[in-house]
Structure 1
């Protein structure tokens, strides 16, 4: 079944809750959780997590794991209800999307968990939408499934853009161009 319409928020929320419950109840979830959180040593993005005010890896990784799981559950629910990968790429806040990358970096564990419950993990970088805004479809589904999204992580796109511009200026001041994607530093002794 393929549609171009996101299903009703209440139906999607119920399915997302089921998917998240299945992930967390899976016998391999503890290993998935541990592997995802261990991935923290590779979290070097200059434009994802750093938009969080007073970002701290140790303090923020557990709450972000929760938010990333919820985001993947929403996307999987939309896909389960529509069969459409493009529709399932619902808007996600930048820091939450960054956490989903850490989860997807555990492909074998995540595939086995998804396979046991019969859902598909949806994420394709060139299709993703990091344009989350309060009131959007993701926000509606989230609120019905889990209540108010934590604004620390579910930042609106316009606020993310403002923070990214701030960060780009700071990075440039220490010689990092394109928000950490290039530099002219030398490492001569």
Structure 2
């Protein structure tokens, strides 16, 4: 068994394959149902640390563009998995926090996504304990994305340091409103209210 770090496939190859994957997903007969289900999931989108890092965040206007970005990220990851020898660890390439949050909404439609993936001939790899949000402009993910679809929209593809800066601002505001640890706790006693 080797401890060598796996080498990611060339971004050019990943970009080409990711475009093919995305086109296959969008052409699938259940894509409309998948999109409707993923966007309907918005009632459960209560994460304090994902979408709220977007400036002037508005679920109604941002969810469709974010769906596109989430699909692009999943397509990139599927391409890396396929071209990189089906290494799940390698597949967890850096993804911006808001885009990752949208991927969770899509993965919450497991039956539809599994059927689409099977027809397209891909594997959807996303494991929360292995994901990382250290995305930065110029990194591997950014390079492959830009080769596939041009520059990613910086509204959603926030660099890691900028996302962390915004999370610190949000955390101070949440705490002022009584939400502790970025919404992971509060001391509201609803029986007394």
**TM-score using structure 1 length:** 0.98
CA distance in 2, matches of 1:12, 1:174: 44
Which runs of 5 or more residues in structure 2 are unaligned? none
* Equivalent position to 2:31, from 15, 29, 32: 29
* Equivalent position to 2:111, from 108, 124, 145: 108
1:14-93 → structure 2 map (5 Å cutoff): 14-82=16-84, 83-93=86-96
Report the alpha carbon displacement of residue 118 of structure 1 after superposing the two structures with TM. Answer: 1.2
What is the RMSD computed on CA atoms of the aligned residues?
0.8
Q: Could you tell me which residue of structure 1 aligns to residue 144 of structure 2?
A: 141
Report the alpha carbon displacement of residue 61 of structure 1 after superposing the two structures with TM. Answer: 0.3
SS state of the match for residue 168, structure 1? helix
**TM-score using structure 2 length:** 0.96
Aligned length: 187
* Equivalent position to 1:4, from 3, 6, 16: 6
The list of structure 1 runs, each at least 4 consecutive aligned residues, that deviate by more than 4 angstroms after superposition, is none
CA distance in 2, matches of 1:149, 1:50: 19
1:120 aligns with 2:120: no
CA distance in 2, matches of 1:151, 1:99: 15
Q: Could you tell me which residue of structure 2 aligns to residue 173 of structure 1?
A: 176
SS state of the match for residue 182, structure 2? helix
Report the alpha carbon displacement of residue 109 of structure 1 after superposing the two structures with TM. Answer: 0.3
SS state of the match for residue 179, structure 1? coil
Report the alpha carbon displacement of residue 43 of structure 1 after superposing the two structures with TM. Answer: 0.2
SS state of the match for residue 129, structure 1? coil
Report the alpha carbon displacement of residue 186 of structure 1 after superposing the two structures with TM. Answer: 1.1
1:158 aligns with 2:158: no
Cα displacement string for residues 143-166 of structure 1 (whole angstroms, at most 9, x for unaligned residues): 000001000000000000000000
Q: Could you tell me which residue of structure 1 aligns to residue 132 of structure 2?
A: 129
CA distance in 1, matches of 2:101, 2:146: 21
Report the alpha carbon displacement of residue 172 of structure 1 after superposing the two structures with TM. Answer: 0.4
